[in-house]
Structure 1
Amino acid sequence: MRPRVLLLNPERTILPKLEFLCSIGVSRSDLSVIVSQNPDLLNRSIKRNLIPHYHILKSILVSDEKVIKCLKRLLKSSIVLSQNDFYANISLLRGLGIPQSSISLLVTFNPSTMCLKAFNFAEGVKKVVQIGFDPSKLQFVRALQVLLGIKQKTWEDKIEAFRRWGLSEEEISSIFRKNPFCMGLSEKNIMCSMNFLVCKMGWQPAAVARVPIVLSYGLETRIKPRCSVIRVLLLKGLIKADVPVSSVMITREKYFLGRLKMTCGAY
């Protein structure tokens, strides 16, 4: 707890804020988590900060449930929502024809993105458009969320990680277009997964790049266990050596097991 928070008047300063948050639907359990993670919240003005934040979000999200989800994320951080920047960012997205459902999703689950300065936000939007994302698709706001959440140096390091595997600029851009969250992975995770899939399993880097969602799967929890099964089947000659990475990794668990039973049952 911050020392200055202990000096606040409980009845005149703290209680009104807690009562307001409870009145809009924030549960007591959520409230205790919010305050413990960001005690400076109690030092904010209810009239100049909390109430305006609520009304700004309400004007975009409409649903109280979504407003509360978003507000909880904001209140746990030290981010202060600027009305001018927020509305400018919303206006920019609407001007591109981005559906309200996509905007609501971005605001609800990643409000910090919408709180960026309008200039920085616009630069991020410009890059996402240049990469080739369709504003009418949900992938656009997913890409925007990832791009604006990564420092330029970190972004370049991840691009370089893919280059080390001989992937072209277009292949790397395609990875981001197909699965934006791949660029949210750490450089270490990218390299470890690529090393296993390419060096241990023998798939070509370009083959992995065509199904980048594979890189989002846990190396220890999904990739290695499934590949260990495939290697046994290969050694026994039960499957062909050119099995596609997609059929091994993307298939849901029950279908993967079903195919496995059929393969083993045929011999």
Structure 2
Amino acid sequence: MYSLLLHGKRRFVDLQKWPSFIVSLNLSRNASSSSASGLKGKNFTVSYLVDSLSFTPKLAESISKKVTFDDKSRPDSVLNLFKSHGFTDSQISTIITAYPLLLTADAEKSIAPKLQLLLSRGASPSELTETISKVPRILSKDRSLTVYYDFVKEVIEADKKSTSTLCLPKRGKQENKIRNISALRELGMPQRMLFPLLISNRPHICGKERFQESLKKVVEMGFDPTTPRFLEALRIVMGMNNETVQEKVSVYKRLGFTAEDILVMFKRFPIFLALSEKKITRSFETMKECGLLEDEELRSVVKMFPQCLGFSEENILNSVETFLGLGFSRDEIAMMVKRLPASIGYAGETVKRKTEFVVKEMSWPLRAVALFPQVLGLSMEKRIVPRCNVIKALISKGLIKSELLPSLSSALVCTDQDFLKRYVRKHDEDEEFVAELMAVFTGEMRTNK
């Protein structure tokens, strides 16, 4: 099946309508009411998470997309239950972040009995809090709760002792999953990746016959078992038969890719092999129709960043239009795509916001962005704005001439440590000024525009 991948050289108003209209109006009113109620619940949830668990507004907002509630009775009872069982504030925060639906559970009828069951089986309070904190979703289980608990505890203890053998008895229907996860652990897969698999029911984790065979192939391809990409590859390999693989390989070959190219792309983005023929060819043709790259250049871009084949046609065309609207020439867009293939799929608003910031507010030339498109992939809040604020502070002091700005790469690509050494600590003869620059860098002090 995967010999083509593994061995490249062998290749891979009418009145009657009024009643309906009235019904539509009522539905619309109900939807509006529901929407308002949902917004109220979301706002309450965010406030609760910030006030009760000290979550950041950003994290609270993210969690409110998964669970909402209108009063604090249930979440309060859940938090109090955990505290009464010895869970620390840090552990509770970790549990709620990973499994926020627990806040809507009935603490006494749903969660408490499970905790009591585990304690009655000999779990110490410290073992209970540590294990549940590692995999809070096991509390969603009923019959298999003890199975998963024992497995997590075994792994935690085994890792503490630096041993590689788990003495786990057969566990009925859960045997396959635990055996497979144990095999992944023996390959060096870390706990942070192993434990979420316990609540997964996907075939590549619960399967039996093809698991070992597929696992061996993924290892032979050189995937690193400590990375999520390993699991992506395993899922793809187990989910496709020989015939399907041959068909996908043929599609890529018709586009001019060699078997070796296909293997390289698979190792960079395993999911690319699961894309439909229509999706593959359409994305490739859309990028080609943009007139930015020649065939060989386009193949090189796809080989470097096969994820671009997953971009929608609309997304690709909108990206090109955004770049053109900002003043980039087609040649400059082509250069950016070759240097940073991911840029062809960036959201228009993101590209526009970052480009206008460095060009209009910081006065770097548009060409600088074309030469260093990586700036479009950097975080505005964590990287671009803090560093640019320091640059502006230095300009205001005359230590950097506005017409002689450092290059974008020099200011933005280096690590924080190198940036501070280059632009802040070099002024350490003036401790007050260095403290001021650090305050600007951390956002404690605003700079004048």
The alignment's TM-score, normalised by the length of structure 2, stands at 0.45
1:142: which partner in 2? Answer: 304
Q: Structure 1 residues 248 and 42 mapped into 2: Cα distance closer, same or farther (>3 Å)?
A: closer
Is contact 2:180–2:206 with CA below 8 Å preserved after alignment?
Answer: no
The counterpart of 1:176, out of the listed 332, 337, 340, is 337
Q: CA deviation at 1:231?
A: 1.2
Separation of aligned partners in 1, 2:241 and 2:338: 30
Separation of aligned partners in 2, 1:11 and 1:160: 57
Q: CA deviation at 1:189?
A: 2.2
1:15: which partner in 2? Answer: 175
Separation of aligned partners in 1, 2:204 and 2:306: 32
1:86: which partner in 2? Answer: 245
Amino acid across the alignment from 2:176: P
Is contact 2:283–2:310 with CA below 8 Å preserved after alignment?
Answer: no
Q: Which moved more, 1:246-255 or 1:175-184?
A: 246-255
Per-residue CA deviations over 1:18-49 (Å, capped at 9, x if unaligned) read 4245335476944441242x4243896533x6
Q: Structure 1 residues 21 and 254 mapped into 2: Cα distance closer, same or farther (>3 Å)?
A: closer
Is contact 2:279–2:310 with CA below 8 Å preserved after alignment?
Answer: no
Is contact 1:53–1:81 with CA below 8 Å preserved after alignment?
Answer: no
Q: CA deviation at 1:223?
A: 0.8
The reply to whether residue 111 of structure 1 matches residue 270 of structure 2 is yes
The reply to whether residue 200 of structure 1 matches residue 361 of structure 2 is yes
1:237: which partner in 2? Answer: 398
The counterpart of 1:253, out of the listed 412, 416, 419, is 416
Q: CA deviation at 1:182?
A: 2.7
1:131: which partner in 2? Answer: 293
How many positions carry a matched residue from both structures? 253
1:39: which partner in 2? Answer: 201
Greater C-alpha Rg: 2
The reply to whether residue 223 of structure 1 matches residue 395 of structure 2 is no
Q: Structure 1 residues 238 and 182 mapped into 2: Cα distance closer, same or farther (>3 Å)?
A: same
Give % identity.
Answer: 19
Separation of aligned partners in 1, 2:226 and 2:215: 7
Amino acid across the alignment from 1:80: G
Q: Structure 1 residues 82 and 119 mapped into 2: Cα distance closer, same or farther (>3 Å)?
A: farther
SS in 1 for 2:328: coil
Is contact 1:74–1:112 with CA below 8 Å preserved after alignment?
Answer: yes
Is contact 2:286–2:313 with CA below 8 Å preserved after alignment?
Answer: no
Q: CA deviation at 1:161?
A: 2.0
Amino acid across the alignment from 2:392: R
Is contact 2:268–2:306 with CA below 8 Å preserved after alignment?
Answer: no
Q: Structure 1 residues 225 and 119 mapped into 2: Cα distance closer, same or farther (>3 Å)?
A: same
SS in 2 for 1:23: helix
Q: Structure 1 residues 141 and 64 mapped into 2: Cα distance closer, same or farther (>3 Å)?
A: closer
Q: Structure 1 residues 122 and 54 mapped into 2: Cα distance closer, same or farther (>3 Å)?
A: farther
Amino acid across the alignment from 1:46: K
The reply to whether residue 151 of structure 1 matches residue 326 of structure 2 is no
Q: Which moved more, 1:63-72 or 1:192-201?
A: 63-72
Separation of aligned partners in 1, 2:208 and 2:285: 36
Is contact 1:150–1:184 with CA below 8 Å preserved after alignment?
Answer: yes
Q: CA deviation at 1:165?
A: 0.6
Per-residue CA deviations over 1:40-65 (Å, capped at 9, x if unaligned) read 43896533x64564355356x1x474
Q: Which moved more, 1:173-182 or 1:122-131?
A: 122-131
Separation of aligned partners in 1, 2:249 and 2:258: 11
Q: CA deviation at 1:245?
A: 2.7
Q: CA deviation at 1:228?
A: 1.0
Separation of aligned partners in 2, 1:108 and 1:6: 38
SS in 1 for 2:275: coil
Per-residue CA deviations over 1:115-166 (Å, capped at 9, x if unaligned) read 22356445656777883566997x6533222x12211112222222222211
Q: Structure 1 residues 136 and 99 mapped into 2: Cα distance closer, same or farther (>3 Å)?
A: farther
Separation of aligned partners in 1, 2:226 and 2:386: 41
